[in-house]
Amino acid sequence: MPVAGVDIGSLTAKAVILEDSTIVATSLVPTGHNSRQSGRRTLDLALEQAGISEGDLAGIVATGYGRLAADFTQDKVTEITCHARGAHFTIPEARTVIDLGGQDSKAIAIDGRGKVLDFVMNDKCSAGTGRFLEVMAHALEIELDDLGALSLESDSPASISSVCTVFAESEVVSRVAEGVSKVDIVAGIHQAIASRIYAMAARVPVEQKIIMTGGVARNRGVVKALEKRFASEILVPEMPQHTGALGAALIAGERANA
Amino acid sequence: MASDSLKRLLEKRDDPYAWARGWKERTGGKVLGFFCCLAPEEMIHAAGALPVRITGENRTISKSGAHLQSYCCSLARTGLDMALEGELSFMDGTVFVHTCDTMMRLSDIWRLNAGFAVHGDIVLPVRFEGPSAHEYAVSELSHFKRKMEESLGPIDDDALNESIKIYNKNRRLLSELYALRLENPGLVSCDEALWIVTSSALMEKSEHNAILEEILADLKSSGAGSEPDGRVRLFGIGSVMDQWDFLKMVEDVGGTIVDDDFCNGRRYFDTEAPEGIDPVESITERLWERQSCPCKHRTDRDRAVCLAGRVAESKAKGAIFWMFKFCEPHAFDYPHIKKALDDQGVPSLNLEIEQGSVSIEQLRTRVEALIETIRGS
């Protein structure tokens, strides 16, 4: 029987429906101001895509920042456990998961079965998260989705010393005033993020292979900067934003079969 | 299932200095504040004064911002703010034990700005070992006693011996409370247990002893035959833990702290002072033998090894480090303790916080994830 995982993040809500360990539907909607409604909506979209109704599901697990608001299931699991499970399913060799989401950044050490060994999360600071990149894109009048490709064109990234969102924004404005090109500024921003994430991840044992999940993984420039900083290849699954929802669906399946 | 005595204690959790204010009104005696649990409270008690612990609180800094940099811990910043705002005006003085740099400097800033009549400093050795350090500690504590006598009146040996007895009794009763919880943590929640210990440093000790005896009797009778409730056993490590909502949340998500190294927890009451010897020697002896904090060292007792052993003894399956931001001594010890726990297969969580900006919901995800890790889900 099919199972569903719903990940209500700070910026987007995602759902994944699995049947016989195969993804049959995925959906994504902005979270907006109502976590409960967006969770519901993304689940309904996925059900529609799979051509099934909620009653056909053997189980649903909710995860993410808004998991407690999800009223369609009692099964809630943290995004840390779900990202670990989802990452393991996508890339079984993964031992370190770097998840950069809307407002959270985390590094998770996992074992060969996708179980969490240790993890670290950012504190109250949004540096290195999707929100940080949104603020920078706005300051530079660039579309968020264009940041990655643009930064790859740079051969002399600007120096951005601050990784505090507020201070970095004023630093970016200063660089613009100095006449530094947008391309170099964006590349500099990505380098600053990479340094920050590297310092955080160093608190868990970083083992090969490293996988990156969350919305920021769609930014090729950040991935490149991280690869340089970690001096290692970083694997990105096809749908990095759905890793948490996928993990939740996998756990729903395990619980349904237990 | 909180007993009436426990309920009475819990009522004061939002107004922790109500007892001290009431005591002063009733007796007209002097109240002395202290920050660190290395302070020889018995000496203040024997002089007929009331020692009361200052542990800061959740508040937005206002006046202390002019005196302390934002890289000082919230314990120092909120504590000084309370004093400068006049909220500690029922106190007649304050005692500082030199532990970390912040506390040393806070003592001077406090003396010059907080406006209390009595001020005491105690500079104990950093290494609690060797005959010369011991001799120095005895002389420093004797000097402190003389200084207190000048402000509070004579402290004779009989009175000091009596105070030591009363404090030892409190330590015994609190140890009993922890032993009961180690056996069955469901008897009383971890936030309530820690408040019972914390309140001991906020009221007259004999009064606390009487309440404790009632609480223990109630717990023993109500808990007889009840089964442990299956919560994940955790061990708490840090300095002051005063975030009751955090501890309640830990229980909400299926965990409980069964034992700890908090300085308003186990470290406050562990080890009794030997009776029947010179009282100043006795107080020194206790400081020497008790569980050490990161500000004091004994090379024969590695703190990481000791803590890892205590975690195993408590049958805790995980540990939570509760770290004040900018607390260098605790941060310095953290990697060693974390490694000792890792080697023992005990997962842990490092939570760095500041009083006044603790976000329970953010912490909930981390604690839940730790519990999921322990349960292997």
Residue B357 has pLDDT above 90, yes or no: no
Query: Is A185 found in the same domain as A61?
Result: no
Query: Is A245 found in the same domain as A171?
Result: no
Q: What is the pLDDT at residue B303?
A: 95
- Other C-beta atoms lying within 10 Å of the C-beta of residue A84: 31
Q: What is the pLDDT at residue A171?
A: 86
Interface of A with B (CB under 8 A): 65, 77-81, 115-121, 123-124, 203, 251
Query: Is A121 found in the same domain as A49?
Result: no
CA distance B373 to chain A (A): 6
Q: What is the pLDDT at residue B2?
A: 60
Q: Which residue has the tokens 């948490």?
A: A244
Domain that holds residue A12: 1-91+241-258
Q: What is the pLDDT at residue B225?
A: 64
CA distance A60 to chain B (A): 15
Residue contact B369–A116, C-beta within 8 A:
yes
- To 5 degrees, how large is the angle CA B81–CA B37–CA B350? 75
Q: Which residue has the tokens 């922790």?
A: B16
Query: Is A225 found in the same domain as A108?
Result: yes
Q: What is the pLDDT at residue A160?
A: 83
Is A66 in contact with A39 (CB distance < 8 Å)?
yes
Q: Does B373 touch chain A (CB under 8 A)?
A: yes
Beta strand B255-260 with B118-122 is unpaired
Residue contact B372–A121, C-beta within 8 A:
no
Q: Which residue has the higher pLDDT, A163 or B89?
A: B89
Query: Is A99 found in the same domain as A22?
Result: no
Q: How many domains does chain A have?
A: 2
Among residues B377, B273, B260, the alpha carbon closest in space to that of B322 is found at B260
Residue B280 has pLDDT above 90, yes or no: yes
Q: Which residue has the tokens 């912040």?
A: B102
B212-217: long-range contacts, CB 8 A cutoff, minimum separation 24:
B212/B170, B212/B173, B212/B174, B212/B177, B213/B173, B214/B3, B214/B4, B214/B5, B215/B3, B215/B5, B215/B6, B215/B9, B215/B177, B216/B173, B216/B176, B216/B177, B216/B180
Topology at the third CATH level for domain B15-156 = Rossmann fold (3.40.50)
- The number of helices, as runs of H, and strands, as runs of E, in chain B is 15, 8
- Rounded distance between C-alpha atoms, residue B193 and residue B171, angstroms: 14
Query: Is A142 found in the same domain as A45?
Result: no
Average pLDDT, chain B: 95
Q: What is the mean pLDDT of residues A111-133?
A: 86
- Other C-beta atoms lying within 10 Å of the C-beta of residue A180: 17
Q: What is the pLDDT at residue B139?
A: 97
Query: Is A172 found in the same domain as A156?
Result: yes
Query: Is A36 found in the same domain as A137?
Result: no
CA distance A33 to chain B (A): 17
Q: What is the pLDDT at residue B348?
A: 97
pLDDT digits (tens, 9 = 90+) for A81-90: 999 999 999 9
B:310-349 residues touching chain A, CB 8 A cutoff: 342, 347
Residue B132 has pLDDT above 90, yes or no: yes
Q: Order across the sheet with B318-324: list the strands.
A: B255-260, B232-238, B318-324, B348-353
Chain B residues within 8 A of A77 when measuring between CB atoms: 372, 377
* Residues in CB range of A158: below 8 A, 6 or more apart: A175, A180, A184, A185, A187, A188
Residue contact A121–B366, C-beta within 8 A:
yes
- Rounded distance between C-alpha atoms, residue B197 and residue B67, angstroms: 31
Q: Which of B350, B357, B376 shows the shortest C-beta gap to A115?
A: B376
Chain A residues within 8 A of B350 when measuring between CB atoms: 120, 203
Q: What is the pLDDT at residue B231?
A: 94
pLDDT digits (tens, 9 = 90+) for A206-250: 999 999 999 999 999 999 999 999 999 999 999 999 999 999 999
The residues spanned by each domain of chain B are 15-156
Query: Is A202 found in the same domain as A121?
Result: yes
- Rounded distance between C-alpha atoms, residue B31 and residue B48, angstroms: 9
Size of interface A-B (CB pairs under 8 A): 36
Q: Which residue has the higher pLDDT, A201 or A124?
A: A201
Residue B1 has pLDDT above 60, yes or no: no
Q: Which residues pair with B353 in a beta bridge?
A: B324
Residue contact B352–A77, C-beta within 8 A:
no
Query: Is A166 found in the same domain as A70?
Result: no
Q: What is the pLDDT at residue B236?
A: 98
Banded pLDDT at A124 (limits 50, 70, 90): low
Query: Is A213 found in the same domain as A87?
Result: no
Is B110 in contact with B64 (CB distance < 8 Å)?
no
- Rounded distance between C-alpha atoms, residue B317 and residue A142, angstroms: 49
pTM of the model as a whole: 0.91
- Rounded distance between C-alpha atoms, residue B51 and residue B43, angstroms: 9
Chain B residues within 8 A of A80 when measuring between CB atoms: 365-366, 369, 372
Q: Which residue has the tokens 């090969």?
A: A208
ipTM: 0.85
Q: What is the mean pLDDT of residues B228-255?
A: 95
Report helix, strand or coil for B201: coil
Percent of chain A with pLDDT over 70: 98
Residue contact A78–B357, C-beta within 8 A:
no
Query: Is A138 found in the same domain as A49?
Result: no
Residue B64 has pLDDT above 70, yes or no: yes
Q: Which residues pair with B119 in a beta bridge?
A: B94
pLDDT digits (tens, 9 = 90+) for A10-24: 889 999 999 999 999
Residue contact B369–A119, C-beta within 8 A:
yes
| CATH number reported for the structural domain that contains residue A110 in this entry | 3.30.420.40
